[in-house]
Amino acid sequence: AGILYVVATPIGNREDFSPRAQMVLAEADVIACEDTRHSRPLLAAFGIAGELLSYHEHNEDQVAPRLLQRLRAGETVALISDAGTPLISDPGFLLVRAAREQGLRVEPIPGPCAAICALSAAGLPSDRFLFVGFPPRTSAQRLAWCQGFAKEPGTLICYESARRAAATLADLAEGLGAQRRAVVARELTKRFETFLADRLDKLAEQVAANPEQQLGELVIMIEGDARGDDERERAEQRRVLQLLAAELP
Where do contacts with ligand SAM occur on this chain (CB under 6 A)? 11-12, 81, 83-85, 88-90, 113-115, 159-161, 185-190, 217-219
Nearer to ligand SAM, 79 or 219 (CB): 219
How buried is 102 (Cβ within 10 angstroms: 0-12 exposed, 13-18 middle, 19+ buried)? exposed
Nearer to ligand SAM, 34 or 201 (CB): 34
The residues, any chain, with a CB within 8 Å of residue 165's CB and separated by 6 or more, are 184, 207, 213, 214, 218, 220
Minimum CB–partner distance for residue 159 and ligand SAM (Å): 3
Minimum CB–partner distance for residue 226 and ligand SAM (Å): 26
Nearer to ligand SAM, 170 or 185 (CB): 185
Nearer to ligand SAM, 10 or 175 (CB): 10
Minimum CB–partner distance for residue 50 and ligand SAM (Å): 21
Minimum CB–partner distance for residue 235 and ligand SAM (Å): 33
Beta-bridge mates of residue 198: 182
Q: Is the dihedral of CA 85, 87, 92, 93 positive or negative?
A: positive
Minimum CB–partner distance for residue 10 and ligand SAM (Å): 9
Report the residue number whose CB is nearest to ligand SAM. Answer: 84
CA gap 238, 228 in Å, rounded: 15
Nearer to ligand SAM, 78 or 83 (CB): 83
Nearer to ligand SAM, 114 or 170 (CB): 114
Half-sphere exposure of residue 33: CA atoms within 13 angstroms, side-chain side: 21
Q: Is the dihedral of CA 206, 208, 212, 218 positive or negative?
A: positive
Minimum CB–partner distance for residue 85 and ligand SAM (Å): 4
Nearest CA to 4 out of 67, 60, 47 is that of 67
CA gap 92, 84 in Å, rounded: 13
Say if residues 115 and 218 touch (Cβ distance below 8 Å). no
Residue 220 is classified by DSSP as E
